[in-house]
Chain A
Amino acid sequence: MKISVIITLKKDVLDPQGKVIHQTLDGMGFEDINEVRQGKYFEIDTKENDQIKAKEKVEEMCKKLLTNLVIENYKIIDVQ
């Protein structure tokens, strides 16, 4: 089973990389942008076939390693 997770910086955390990307896009002529925030994306292929259990395991992985909850949020976006 494949589970997709995205990790994003929390709202109040400064994202200098997102800012630079925003400025660059501005310079390229994409002038309608309000803000750019950069994040991470993980695809986890697990042997677990039970969808609920697999999701629970991935949540645990997110809490213990994949995210630092002081600055980041995680969201499971797809289970296949």
Chain B
Amino acid sequence: MKSSVVTFPGSNCDRDMDVALKKFGFKNKMVWHDDVELPKSDIVVLPGGFSYGDYLRCGSVASKSKIMKSVINFANSGGMVMGICNGFQILVETGLVPGVLLRNKYLEFICKNVFVKINDKQNTYFKNIDNNVLEFHIAHNEGNYFCTNDQLKEIEDNQQIAINYCNMDGVIEDQFNPNGSTKNIAGVFNKNKNVLGMMPHPERMIDPSLSGEDGSLFFKNLINNIK
């Protein structure tokens, strides 16, 4: 299975993602933002970081970079595109997934482990995964998911909410919402569910001696689903 990770100026989770994808069997290629064409890929990943120093709005400048035209075409033709953290911010700026990511409600940069509940398993990202709750890591300043009421109705009707912040038992309540996100939303799909944007970092949970193993579950499941 082939993957590509796009590096923008200011990306800083691109190597972690490269390590994670390779660990679970992907043949991964790094792609520079100024490239025009994507290598042949089964999945394209937009990694976390601070592309273009978060100037203007997080992800807005990166969303207009050369490679993004190919990424948008790839996504629109059904290709799998996953944006993590800053990658999610880039995806909302392209319009590939609905909504925006505002500054965290309490104006703090949040860096901690969180639990997320998988809301939908009818998709290639979470299909066949045994767990309903995963422990991932978040590290962001702008992760407060917001969308209009019309958009919210649409993503709820189409089951586009991928994961919600919750406690370890999967209870979704305001007290487990780290950043003020609407309805505790931590990740959303596009309509066809081939594009996933999420704030948590599964690539930081692939080694039990460093963190946890729920990222391993995610990536093992992902490659099996793509095969």
Chain A contact residues, CB within 8 Å of chain B: 13-14, 16-17, 20, 65-66, 68, 70-71
Contact = CB atoms under 8 A, between A and B. Distances in A.
A14 B105 contact: yes
A68 B60 contact: yes
Given A20-B107, A65-B60, A70-B148, A14 B99 contact: no
Nearest to B98: A70
B105 A16 contact: yes
Given A14-B102, A16-B104, 7 more contacts: A14-B105, A16-B106, A17-B103, A68-B93, A70-B99, A70-B146, A71-B146
B180 interface: yes
B107 A70 contact: no
A17 to B, nearest CB: 7
Interface residues of B, number: 19
Given A13-B146, A14-B180, A68 B107 contact: no
Given A14-B180, A65-B60, A71 B100 contact: yes
Contacts of A20: 107
Interface of B: 56-57, 60, 64, 93, 99-100, 102-107, 144, 146-148, 151, 180
A70 B100 contact: yes
Contacts of A71: 100, 102, 146
Contact of B147 (A14, A65, A70): A70
Contacts of A14: 102, 105, 144, 146, 180
Contacts of B93: 68
B62 to A, nearest CB: 12
The 6 closest A-B pairs by CB, nearest first: A70-B100, A16-B107, A71-B100, A68-B100, A16-B103, A68-B57
26 contacts: A13-B102, A13-B146, A14-B102, A14-B105, A14-B144, A14-B146, A14-B180, A16-B103, A16-B104, A16-B105, A17-B103, A17-B107, A65-B56, A65-B60, A65-B64, A68-B93, A68-B100, A70-B99, A70-B100, A70-B146, A70-B147, A70-B148, A70-B151, A71-B100, A71-B102, A71-B146
